[in-house]
Chain A
Amino acid sequence: MSAPGIVSATGVVYVVDDDASFRKAVTRMLTAAGLSVRSYASGTELLAHLSGDAPAEESGCVLADLCMPGLDGLQLQEACAEAGVALPFVFLTGHGDVPSAVSAMRHGAVDFLDKCSPQRVLLTSLERALERDTSARAARVRRGQLRQRFAALTVREREVLEHVVHGRMNKQIAAALGIHERTVKLHRNAITTKIGVRSVAELTTLTREIGLFAEPRQSCP
């Protein structure tokens, strides 16, 4: 069956709804719109699938009914977060109530839609969710690679790196570590080569990105 793909984003939409009729209809529509869809009658089924298989390679998002027997939408979102499945959620509701919406958005839901909202709104929302997951995945992959590179540093190099990131001069570093200034320069060269950067600014950005030497967060007044 060939239907015109009107959605540009790629990935799997996990539909979770206890109402068989709606589940079938929405699956049908999303498939016709060019998305790949997997549908589940309950949050438990989805969790079993996500934790059973190897973590999905492709990006995805969850389209869940807020109001379901067993795990409801919000509980499913929490359970996913606990299971380490960081999928973006789009919630559907027959009668949206503000507290649930607030709670859902606080837990990182992409959207909170009426079950009868127009196709365009639903598709846009899912597109955004899929894009968000795609970029989140890309970021995760990049961070993983960066961490590997940083892991290749020796203990001494890491010590030097910490001082460098904190903006200290070679002389200060040498004094602090009790080594010669020349040795500090050698370590710095080794670091930039291993990480593959040219400037201290770049190095600082990367260490921040993977959360290395994170400064204790300042509490808000």
Chain B
Amino acid sequence: MSLVTTLWSMQAAAALTLAVLYAVVWSVDRRNLASLTVCIVAVAMAVTARAEVGMMHAATVTEYGEWTRLLYLPLFFTFVGLVLFVHLFLGTGRLWLLLTIVGTRVVMLLGSFLAHPTFAWREIVGLRHVTFLGEQVALAGPIVLRAWHGLSLASNVLLIVFIADAVLQAWRQGGAEARRKALLVAAGVGLPLTLTILYAQAVLLGALELPFLATPAFLITILVLAVELSRGFLLNRQTREELEDLRSELARAGRVTALGQLASALAHELSQPLSAILRNAEAAELHLNGPSPDLDELREIVADIRKDDQRAGDVIEQMRALIKRRTLQMHPLALSEVVEDVISLVHSDALSRHVALDYVMTPGLPLVSGDRVHLSQVLLNLVINGMDAIQSCPTGNKRVVIEARPEEGRVEVAVTDSGPGVAPGVIDKVFDPFYTTKSGGLGMGLPISRTIIEAHGGRLWAEQARHGSGLTFRFTLTQAQSAVS
């Protein structure tokens, strides 16, 4: 195969690859019309490459003329596509210039189907052959131009003016992003277009003994747009990572807020073992001050002090785990651990608010796959919400129940309160950010909880409790693959 055929096939292949990529981008985001125009331009460029090879390998004047005429079709789509791309991509460019260019290009396209050999050429006087890339290629002999050639020239000049103007406008808007895009258009569209037009003019005037070629310069366009596309990919990934960071920050903020609500209860939870330690130490002192200290009693006291110290340490460890910023770490997990964590955190709060806090776990509940701290946060949030909801209920009727039962492949957890519930229309609103019924509430607890559960591949929703007037919050978790707990 000749070098020309090989090289031009590669150019066409590169252009088509880019066309497919941009087509995919457009199919995902249909409003991104700039991607569609790039796709069209790239396809047109592949066809242009084929026409150019056809011209170079033409055996007769007629064949050469036919390929040249065919060239107008891809060139129409290339030029119109580029103009629209610049307009859509930069958001600048004068509309009347754009319409004029499109108008002249339509006229040229229609003309090229009516006139032979082409719209602008009256006659091709013979073919010459020159050596190009080590092989003989056909060149048009002297070309007799029509008066229409002026329109073609004018259209090309307008094209360059339009792009230069659009780039300048974008540059003047300022801002790093606008200027980057302006440079991209100048280098990726303006430069190759200008080169191609000047080159074609030089060939036409006989200044260069070379074939008419458009595709080599447009390789720059393909390169620049490919870089732009990959940059988009990278940015997208970066954005996703930033979002992930933000989500974990938000989750942490949610946990800290929940802890704030629990501060007094936690103080109580800590004061219990601390005061026991104090009393034990005092008792030991009294024994030691006596005439014959009872060593067995003292040993027992020391053992109890150690036990209570461990208890206080556990509370602090739980708080620390909740406050620490951390990403999701999925492990096989027994839900009962999460429930016990949460109950130990809210136990005192529930007591001082006269709330009966119960939990019903189906025996032999399978392990779930999840992050203990994040799930504790969700459950903590739901339980605190439940306790807040029943604030105004009579003392005997304050109940929050946590239930967990297996579903096929999943485990469903429900938190039900005995409160007054909410109006039917409001039940879906509770997950809206900043929706709150509490005076001190931020309205972020439930949205954050939902984000966490969804990150676990589960679902969190609210519904009317099956018994009583209160609300039930349900969430699902995936069962872990390993054995049943």
* Interface residues of A, dominant DSSP: loop
Cβ-based interface call for A32 (8 A): yes
* Interface residues of B, dominant DSSP: helix
Residues of A within 8 A of B292 (CB): 2
Per-position 1/0 for A30-42, Cβ under 8 A of B: 0111000000000
Contact of B286 among A19, A21, A32 (CB under 8 A): A32
Known A22-B279, A25-B283, A33-B286: A94·B294 in contact at CB below 8 Å: no
Taking a contact as CB atoms under 8 Å apart, the answer to whether B304 and A4 are in contact is no
Q: Which residue of B lies closest to A116 (CB)?
A: B275
Q: Which residue of B lies closest to A29 (CB)?
A: B283
Taking a contact as CB atoms under 8 Å apart, the answer to whether B304 and A21 are in contact is yes
CB A44 to nearest CB in B, in angstroms, measures 15
Cβ-based interface call for A26 (8 A): yes
Taking a contact as CB atoms under 8 Å apart, the answer to whether A94 and B287 are in contact is no
Contact of A67 among B268, B277, B283, B304 (CB under 8 A): B268
Instruction: Identify the interface centre among A6, A26, A28, A33: most chain B CB within 10 Å of its CB.
Output: A28
Taking a contact as CB atoms under 8 Å apart, the answer to whether B276 and A21 are in contact is yes
Residues of B within 8 A of A194 (CB): none
Taking a contact as CB atoms under 8 Å apart, the answer to whether A22 and B272 are in contact is yes
Cβ-based interface call for A214 (8 A): no
Per-position 1/0 for B276-297, Cβ under 8 A of A: 1111101100110111101001
Known A1-B297, A21-B273: A67·B351 in contact at CB below 8 Å: yes
Cβ-based interface call for B308 (8 A): yes
Taking a contact as CB atoms under 8 Å apart, the answer to whether B264 and A25 are in contact is no
Chain A, interface size category, equals 20 to 34
Known A21-B307, A67-B352: A94·B271 in contact at CB below 8 Å: yes
Cβ-based interface call for A217 (8 A): no
CA distance A114 to B371 in the complex (A): 37
Known A21-B307, A32-B286: A94·B348 in contact at CB below 8 Å: yes
Per-position 1/0 for A60-76, Cβ under 8 A of B: 00000001110010000
Taking a contact as CB atoms under 8 Å apart, the answer to whether A32 and B291 are in contact is no
Residues of B within 8 A of A3 (CB): 286-287, 290
Residues of A within 8 A of B351 (CB): 67-69, 72
CB A39 to nearest CB in B, in angstroms, measures 12
CA distance A6 to B290 in the complex (A): 11
Cβ-based interface call for A145 (8 A): no
Cβ-based interface call for A124 (8 A): no
Number of A-B contacts (CB under 8 A): 89
CB B204 to nearest CB in A, in angstroms, measures 92
Cβ-based interface call for A115 (8 A): yes
Residues of A within 8 A of B405 (CB): none
Residues of B within 8 A of A114 (CB): 271
Taking a contact as CB atoms under 8 Å apart, the answer to whether B274 and A24 are in contact is no
CB B405 to nearest CB in A, in angstroms, measures 26
Taking a contact as CB atoms under 8 Å apart, the answer to whether B290 and A2 are in contact is yes
Cβ-based interface call for B256 (8 A): no
Residues of A within 8 A of B348 (CB): 67, 94
Known A1-B297, A4-B286, A32-B283: A95·B276 in contact at CB below 8 Å: no
Taking a contact as CB atoms under 8 Å apart, the answer to whether A95 and B301 are in contact is no
CA distance A115 to B268 in the complex (A): 9
Q: List 30 A-B contacts (CB under 8 A).
A: A2-B291, A3-B287, A19-B276, A21-B273, A21-B307, A21-B311, A22-B272, A22-B273, A24-B304, A25-B276, A25-B278, A25-B280, A28-B283, A28-B301, A29-B279, A32-B286, A32-B287, A33-B286, A67-B351, A68-B351, A72-B351, A72-B354, A94-B269, A95-B265, A95-B267, A114-B271, A115-B274, A115-B275, A116-B271, A119-B282
Known: A94-B275, A115-B271. 18 other contacts (CB 8 A): A6-B286, A19-B272, A21-B272, A21-B276, A25-B283, A25-B308, A28-B283, A31-B283, A33-B286, A67-B351, A67-B352, A68-B351, A72-B351, A94-B272, A95-B352, A115-B274, A115-B275, A119-B282
